Chains A and B, each alone.
Chain A
């Protein structure tokens, strides 16, 4: 299967670089030989049908696959010139610099404040925690809705608010890159729109890699789109081109809704 690569650059060193990455779950291979360059301060969308390996690939970038006992990752993921899978790399340190937002909003059963402060606390943050919590909640466009009830349980928030809290919680650790795994798939259209606006805002300060099932969403929010199919990267390039003038037949079939 030919792979069309249209590797994007914006004059800056890439934020992340996957080289020949393969993932196995036991004997089954989930993704094979993927090369992907993620430019800094851009939004890159991973699209493809269910089971194509989008989420598996995403979880390679902050060593989240380490938590799955049967998973094995091969290849390199370069971050600031260092392979994240080198023996001397601590996955905990990786996750502090490459944050993650999950598909289902998963706030801790604690107060809104404690949710936001959890990351800084476990990372030994020594500054003004109140200010950091406020700044993070403002960045996640949640502050105005929760500033009077920071002590209340996060689980009393609406689902959309919970997901913005999860984003605030990730921002509070001050990562460079944010990985998002279908962050809006559990949300209604209004809440989804707010998350999309938020992603647009965040791209000024962060590099964002987002898995999405929703092609309109990928087209709206991403600068680059990677199309995965059956564990392979079929095509990767500027989002406009992927959606209007794809080079591969499979990509065209998928983005025009003929399968997937």
Chain B
């Protein structure tokens, strides 16, 4: 007969439990700080901005009179910039991630490259703006165009994109690769038929999250020449442009309070855009997860 030992030993049980509860409360408070700050911000913006949200606001161009001003050019500019950025950055990042994970010899050089990528992810975005101004606007002669802006954002999000794609590729189980290699598949066939299909949801999620970071960027785009006051929508990648965050910045730096309300309206639209992108990332991930 084994004596049961499930009763709380005197002195230890309740005290341990109290300590556990205190820890839970502390963690709860930490969470509350973040949530509360966000709620205050949201309330402030919604109070200021909801009033200006109408079709005039979404379809109007920038204007000197607040009642006629809108975000049409900024919205179109943001859409152009994000579209171009993803079209350039996604294939480059995926290629780099596949190379680093599947092909690159494990050595000093690869480690150096890897460390550099991680470092680049922490470089302030204004530095990328300077690079963009020097390389794309001046050297390459692309001018203050959408293309210059998209290329600048591309190098800005590449490190994050490469790292997240690498992680997705690394999470593909080794057994699957070995099974495919064991059947006489070449490295490319293993990548194409086993690794990429399994890594794709993760790569896609990372891409959307990186892109939503690009959507909120302002500083580097100011440097490459985006301007706050544009009265037309871009027709091609070589046109001048503005983007939502820049339009918000332009409005908020004006003295009149009517423009501050417009800025709040712009923030609401930008938040909705970011929320939609993050939701898309979650939906895509879940859909792929269910399918396999």
Contact = CB atoms under 8 A, between A and B. Distances in A.
A169 B183 contact: yes
A2 to B, nearest CB: 35
Interface in A79-97: 92-93, 95-96
A64 interface: yes
A69 interface: yes
B236 interface: no
Report whether over half of chain B's contact residues are helix, strand or loop; otherwise say mixed: helix
B179 A109 contact: no
B184 A122 contact: yes
A109 B290 CA distance: 12
A173 B183 contact: yes
Interface stretch (B118-126, B170-178, B219-227): B170-178
A102 B182 contact: yes
B290 to A, nearest CB: 12
Contacts, number: 63
A207 interface: no
B106 A69 contact: yes
Contact of A102 (B179, B185, B189, B193): B179
Chain B CB within 10 Å — which of A67, A102, A104, A170 has the most?
Answer: A67
A88 B186 CA distance: 16
Interface in B155-180: 173, 175-180
Nearest to A96: B184
Given A95-B183, A102-B175, 4 more contacts: A96-B184, A100-B182, A122-B189, A173-B183
Interface of B: 106, 173, 175-186, 189, 193-194, 198, 292
28 contacts: A64-B178, A64-B182, A93-B184, A95-B181, A96-B183, A96-B184, A99-B182, A100-B182, A102-B178, A102-B179, A106-B175, A106-B176, A106-B178, A107-B179, A108-B176, A108-B179, A109-B292, A118-B183, A118-B185, A118-B193, A119-B183, A122-B185, A122-B189, A122-B193, A123-B183, A166-B179, A169-B183, A170-B182
